[in-house]
Amino acid sequence: MGFMWFATEDGLNKYDGKNFTIYRPEQRNPNSLTYKWIEQIFVAPDGILWFGSRGGLTRFDPRTETFTRFKHQPGNEFSLSSDTITTLFHDGGKYLYVGTLGGLNRIRQDSLSVERIRMPVANRRVRINTLLPENNNTLWIGTDGGLFKCDPAKGVVTQPPGLFPQGIPVSVTALAIKDSDLWIGTTDGLVHYSSVTKRTRHYRIPNSDEEHSDGQTVENLLVDGDRALWLVSSFGLSKLDFATDRLQSKIRSFASTNSLSINTNKAILRDRTGHIWYGSHGDGLYRIDPLTDEQSHYVNSPADIESLSENFINCIYEDEAGVIWVGTFGAGISIYDPNAHQVELWRHDPLEENSLPSNFVWSILEARDGTLWIGTNDRGLARYWPKNGTFTFYEHQPGIASSLSESAVRAVFQDRKGNIWVGTDGGGLNKFRPATGTFQHFRSIPDDSTTLTGNTARVIYEDKDDYLWIGTRDGLNRMDPTTGKCIRYRHESGNPRSLSHDIIFASILQDEKGYLWIGTYGGGLNRLDIQKGEFTHYRSNPNDPESLSDDNVFSIFEEKEGVMWIATNDGFNRFNTHTGKFQRFTTQDGLPSNVVYGILPDEEGNLWLSTNGGICRFNLKDYSTKNYDVNDGLQSNEFNAGAYHRGHSGKLYFGGVYGLNVIEPDKLKPVSNDAEVVITSMDVLGSEVQVKPDRDIKEEEKGIYQVTEEEGKFTLPVSISYAKAIKLNYRHRFLALEFAALKCPVGATNRFAYRMENLDMDWTHAGTRNYISFANMDAGTYVLNVKAQNSDGQWSPHQARLSIIITPPFYRTWWFMLFEFLFALGISLLIYHYLVKAKTNRLLKRQNRQIAEANRRLTESEHNLLELNATKDKFFSIIAHDLKNPFTSLLSITDLLLEDFEHADEEDKHLGMKRVNDAIKEIYSLLENLLTWSRAQTGRINFEPRPFNLSNVVYENINLHRVPAERKGIHLQTELEENVMAFGDRDMINTVVRNLLSNAVKFTGEGKKIAVQVRKNSHDVEVRVKDEGLGIAKENLNMLFRIDMKFKSKGTHGERGTGLGLILCKEFIERHGGKIGVKSKVDKGSTFYFTIPVTPEIVS
C-alpha cells in the first residue's frame, strides 16, 4: 500500500505522508498490541504485519485493523516457546517462522496455529539469532548454540558437522549466501562455507591497526553483488573483496551501546543506487560509494537543524521513493532524501574556519578569474578560491585605513577592466587593490558635490561609456572611475524631471537604447535620459491595473528591446516600454510569494526569481512556474534584496539570512512521480468512520462494504484505504474524504485533483488541499478518482479510486414507486370520475344559467317593450290631446275673427290676436320639447362637456322668463355668486334651467315669488328653483320624471303641460352624473333642484 510503519518503545506508528496514527496496547482490549515496545517488524507478502517484542508476537491486518496476539502459555505446546521475539521470517508460502529466546516456532497462515520446532540441543531451549533460507528445502538457523539446518517440509532440524574449526560450536549471529556459499557471522569472526568444496575458512576481523584479532563478534553481513561482502562488527565496518579475498577495515567505530533492546546489532543497508549505509552506535551515519570507496559522514550538529538528529543509529530503511529513513536512539527519525537537496547550500560552520564567515549574505560576485566574492552583513567580504576550496576574508579593521571601510557589504561589482568595487552600509564605496589586498575608499563629503550623495552604497553598475553608477540611500551618483569624481542626482521637490525618490535599493540597468533604468524604494521605476539629465517616472496606481504593481522596486531585467521585467515588493511585472503598460504576476499565477527580490536568466528561456517564499523558475514562453523551497535545499524560503548574481559559469547565486544557494539550472531535472494516492479517512455527517471488522461477511460480498451507524457512530468492516467500493444509506449522503500521496519524498509539495464520475464532468483541482466533501448527493452509483501531481508538474499514474453507492430512500425504491404508481392511478381514476361528474354538473348549471339569463332577458325585453309602449302612448297622447287642444283654440279664435272681423272693435281684435299668439307659443313650446325628447331617445343629441359659466346660464333664463312672470305679477329672485363655473354640456343645462323656470312661472300665482339659488362646493354645484305656487300632492310626486306614469295639471292661468320637460331634465342631469329631485307641499309651493359637477373626473 505504501504506508510507513514505525516500531517504537511506545507503540506502533503509521505514517501516511502527512499524519501519524498511533496504536498502543490496551489492557482490556484484545484487539490491540501485546506489548508497547516493538523490536521486530515484518511485512508478509500478503500485506499482514507482524510485530515482535519481549511481551509476545502480534499479527496486524491493516485492512480490518485487527490485532491477533500470540504469547507463551505454560503447559500449552501449541503456544510460542517464549514471549521474547528475536527474529521473524516468512517463507513466501504458508508459514511464518518466529525465533525467540526459547527456540524456533512457525505459524500457519491460514489457521494461525502455532507449531514448535524442536532443536537438537540438550535443553531444547536456545536463542534464535538469525534465519536465512537457501532454497525451498533448506532454512539456515543461527543460534547461540551454533548453526542448524531445517527442512521446512518435514519440520526437522539438524546440525551440520565440521563447519567450525576444531568442531567447537560458537554462537552464530549473522548469515549471508552468495552463489550457494554460506557466510557465517559468529562471536569469533567470520566463517565461509563453500558448497562446492564443502570446506570452511575462518576470517579474523581487522582492528583499527589492521591487525586481525580473535573474539570479535560479527553483528551483520551484507552481500554487495559480485563485488564484496560487508561485515559489521564491534570494530566497525569491514569489507571483504571477493576478487582479492582480502578483508579490510573501512570504518573504525568502537562505540558500544547502552540500549536494553533485544537486538543491539548495528544497522547496514545497500540502497538502490548501490551505496552502502552504515549506522554506528555513537559516531553517526556513513554512506560509502563501493566503487570509489568515497565516504560521506553524517553527524549531529547542534547548530544545524538539518543535520542528523542523533549519532546513535538503531535502524536504516529505504522506502520506495529512494528516501533513507534513519531511526535513532532517543531522537526520533532522521530522513535523507537524495532528490531533495538539488540546490547547493553554503553556510557558516562554527567548527570550521574555512567556511562562509556569516550566514547573512547581502551580495555575490563571480569574478572573471573564477573566484567567488561574497558580501555579508557583519563579517565583511569573503573570497572563495574554487581550485583549492579555501576562503580569504576581508573585514573592517579599526585603525587600519587600508582595510575594508565597513563590514556590512551591500554590493560587489567587477568593471570591464577587472577592478573589484565594494559598496558598504555606512562606509561608502571601496576599490580593491589586488596587489596588496587593501582597499581605496570613496566617501561622501557633504560640502563636496563631486563626492557620493551618501555612504550607504547598495548597488553598483557600469554603463556603456565605462562610467560607474552608484545607488545609495541618499540618491544616485555617476562616478568617473579614473578620477573618482561624481555627478549627483537627487529628488527635487516640485521638479517632475528629477529622481522620484532618493533610496536606490538594489537595481540599475542600461537598456539597448542607452536609457538608464533605476529602481527606487518608494518612488517606483525611473528612466534617466543621460544626455538630458531628465527622469521619467513609472509609479503604481491602485486604480490602474496596467500600472506598476508597487513602488518598491528591487530588480530590473531586459528580456529584449521593448520588454522589461520588474521585481517589486508586491508582484512581478512585465513592462512594455513602447506602450508604457505593465502586466502583473502574483501568487495567483503560480509565484510562491508576491515579494520578488531578484531576477536572473538562464540559457533555457527561464527567469529565476528570489522571493519571500522560495525560488521560482518562471518560463518566458508560457509563463508557467516551478517553485523551490527549503525541502530542495534552500537556505530558507526568504531571501535578501540585492543578493542575486549570475556568474560567467552560468551558475545562479542567491543569498539570504541563513546562507548562500548555488543553482546550476541545467542540473535541475524534473523528478518523476510514482506516488500512490490512497484515501486515508472518511467522515459521514461530520463523524469519522471507524473500522469494525465483520467476521460474517461472505467472500463474494467483500467487494462492497456497507457503512453502518450504531449509537451515532459510523463503522466500516475494513479500512477505507483498502475498500474499493462502499455503500451508504440515503440519509448518510453527506460525506468527506481525506487522501494522501504515498511512496513520494517526505515534504514533497503534492497537488491533487479529483473527479466524481456521474457527478463531475471535469477534474477539480484542489491544490495542496488533501480533503474533499460532498453534500446532499442523489441516490446512485458514483466513482471517485483522485490523482496527485508533484512540484515538477508530473502526474502520478497511480490514482485512488473508490466506488460510492448511495441507496435510495424507501420512497425511491422500485416497489415503493410501483405502489406510488398504483396509488396515483387509483387517485387519478377517482379524480377522473369526480371531474366527469363535476363537468356534468357544470354543464347543467351552465344550461340553467343560460335559461335563467334567457328568462331575465325576456323579462327585460318585456319591460322594455312596456316602456316603449308607454313612450308610444305618451307620444300619441301628446299628439292626440296636447297638440290638438292649442290648434282647436287657434281654429275657434280665427273662425270668430273671420266671421266678425269687420264689425269687431279694436279691443276684441287685440284680444283675439293675443289668444292666437298664446296658442302659437304653446304649440311652439310643445313641439320644441317633443323634438328634443325625440332626439334624446334616438341618441342624436351630442354630449360635449366643457367648463362653462353657470351664472350666465341662470341670468339668461331669468331674463327670458321675466316678461311672462311680470304679466302674472310674479317677482323673480336670484341667490348666486358671480361667475360660478361648472363642467358639462351648456346647452343641456340651459334646457334644464329653462324648463324648471317655465314650470315655476306656469304654476305660480299673482303676487308670488320665484327664487333661483346656486350653491357650490369642492365636488359639484347645486341649482334650486323655488316657487310659491300651487304645489304637488305627495301621492303625485312619484309620477314626475317618469314617462310610464300620467300626471297633468293646469297652471294658475289655465296653462297646460305634457310632463315631457321634466323627463328631459332627468335624462340630461343623469347624463352629467348628477341628481335631480323635487320637494313640494300643496298650496305652499315646490322646490326643484339638480346637481352638476365642477371637474371633468366626475363626468367621466
pLDDT digit string (tens) for 890-904? 676 677 667 776 776
DSSP calls for 982-1050:
EEE-HHHHHHHHHHHHHHHHHT--TT-EEEEEEEE-SSEEEEEEEE-S----HHHHTTTT-SSS-----
The conformational region for residue 721 under phi > 0 = left, psi -120 to 50 = alpha, else beta, is: alpha
Residue 996 lies in a domain: yes
Work out the average pLDDT over 856-866: 81
Helix/strand/coil for 972:
strand
Does residue 618 carry a pLDDT above 70?
yes
Tell me how many degrees the CA angle 17-20-24 measures, rounded to the nearest 5: 145
963 phi/psi in degrees, rounded to 5: -65, -50
1088 vs 1012: CA distance, rounded Å: 10
Residue 866 structural domain: 819-882
CA 232/CA 249 separation, integer angstroms: 10
Task: Output b/e per residue, 363-395; b: 16+ Cβ within 10 A.
Answer: bbbbeeeeebbbbbbebbbbbbeeeeeeeeebb
- pLDDT tops 70 at residue 678: yes
Q: What pLDDT, in 10s, does the model give residues 375-387?
A: 999 999 999 999 9
Tell me: the pLDDT tens digits for 987-1014? 889 889 988 998 898 889 888 999 999 9
What's the confidence (pLDDT) of residue 890? 67
Question: By the 8 A CB rule, do 412 and 424 touch?
Answer: no
Predicted TM-score (pTM) above 0.75: no
* Domain boundary pick from 669, 701, 726: 669
**3-state DSSP assignment of residue 280:** coil
Q: Is the per-residue pLDDT at 920 higher than 90? A: no
In a domain, 791, yes or no: yes
- The pLDDT of 89-117, averaged and rounded, is 93
Give the per-residue pLDDT at 858: 87
Residues 896 and 1002 occupy one common structural domain? no
Dihedral pair phi/psi, residue 897, rounded to 5°: -65, -40
Question: Which is higher by pLDDT, 39 or 933?
Answer: 39
Q: Average pLDDT for residues 198-205, to the nearest whole number?
A: 86
Helix (H), strand (E) at residue 559: strand 553-560
pLDDT band at 873 (very low <50, low <70, confident <90, very high): low
The proportion of the chain whose per-residue pLDDT surpasses 90, expressed as a percent, equals 61
pLDDT confidence tier of residue 700, bands split at 50, 70 and 90: very low
Type of residue at 172: V
Same-domain check for residues 961 and 890: no
Residue 226, domain member (yes or no): no
Q: Name 1073's Cβ contacts closer than 8 Å, sequence gap at least 6.
A: 1093, 1098, 1099
- pLDDT class of 515 with cuts at 50, 70, 90: very high
pLDDT grade for 1100, boundaries at 50, 70 and 90: very low
> Which residue matches cell numbers 317655465?
998
Mean residue pLDDT across the chain: 88
Contact (CB, 8 A) for 527 and 540: no
With CA atoms as reference, report the closest residue to 608 among 550, 546, 651.
Answer: 651
Among the listed residues 889, 883, 885, 891, the one whose alpha carbon sits nearest the alpha carbon of residue 929: 883
| Residue 395 included in any domain | no
Q: Which residue has the higher pLDDT, 350 or 161?
A: 350
Q: CA-CA distance, 577 to 538, in Å (whole number)?
A: 11
Residue 219's nearest CA partner among 251, 266, 182, 260 is 266
For residue 1056, name the pLDDT band (cuts at 50, 70, 90): low
Instruction: Please state, in angstroms and rounded to a whole number, the distance separating the CA atoms of residues 499 and 504.
Output: 10
The residue ranges of DSSP E strands in 234-312, in sequence order, are: 236-241, 246-252, 267-270, 276-279, 285-288, 295-298
pLDDT tens digits, 413-447? 999 999 999 999 999 999 999 999 999 999 999 89
pLDDT band of residue 52 (cuts 50, 70, 90) is very high
Average pLDDT over residues 1044-1068: 72
- Domain edge (last residue) among 760, 779, 812: 812
The torsion angle over the Cα atoms of residues 525, 529, 532 and 534, rounded to 10 degrees, is: -10
Nearest to 283 by CA among 238, 216, 236: 236
Distance CA 777, CA 1066 (A): 78
CA nearest to 758, candidates 806, 800, 797, 723: 806
Sign of the C-alpha dihedral computed for residues 474, 479, 485 and 491 taken in this order: negative
Same domain? For 333 and 349 the reply is no
Say whether both 43 and 138 belong to one domain: yes
- Whether 894 and 937 map to the same domain: the answer is yes
Length, in residues, of the chain: 1100
292 domain-assigned: yes
> Which domain CATH number covers 955?
3.30.565.10
Confidence of residue 942 (pLDDT cuts 50, 70, 90): confident
Residue 756 has a CB neighbour count (10 Å cut-off) of: 17
Q: How confident is the model at residue 1037 (pLDDT cuts 50, 70, 90)?
A: confident
> 711-742 pLDDT, tens per residue?
889 999 999 999 999 999 999 989 999 999 98
3-state secondary structure of 731: helix
Read off the pLDDT of each residue in 476-480 and give the average, rounded to a whole number: 97
Residues 1081 and 947 reside in one and the same domain? yes
pLDDT value at position 337?
A: 85
Number of domains in the chain: 7
Last-in-domain residue among 924, 941, 958: 941
- Are 744 and 639 within one domain? no
* Residue 826 belongs to a domain: yes
**Any idea what the CATH number is for the domain that residue 327 is in?**
2.40.10
Scanning the structure block, which residue is given the C-alpha cell 494522501? Answer: 740
701 pLDDT exceeds 60?
Answer: no
Return the ∠ at Cα 1099 (arms to 1097 and 1100), rounded to 5°: 65
Residues 840 and 904 in one domain: no
Write the CATH number for 98.
2.130.10.10
Asked if 82 and 141 sit in the same domain, the reply is: yes
User: Is residue 565 one of the residues assigned to a domain?
Assistant: no
Mean pLDDT of 317-342: 88
- Tell me what the mean pLDDT of segment 823-834 comes to: 90
Examine residue 383 and state whether it is found in any structural domain, yes or no: no
Confidence of residue 699 (pLDDT cuts 50, 70, 90): very low
Q: What's the confidence (pLDDT) of residue 166?
A: 60
Q: Report the CATH number at residue 798.
A: 2.60.40.10
Q: What angle do CA 140, 146, 148 make, to 5 degrees?
A: 30
**pLDDT the model gives residue 1036:** 83
The rounded distance, in Å, linking the Cα atoms of 736 and 210 is 63
Same domain, residue pair 701 and 784: yes
Same domain, 110 and 55: yes
Q: State the sign of the Cα–Cα–Cα–Cα dihedral 658, 659, 660, 663.
A: negative
Same-domain status, 1001 and 1070: yes
- Which of 233-237, 268-272, 473-477, 607-611 has the weakest average pLDDT? 233-237
pLDDT over threshold 90, residue 51: yes
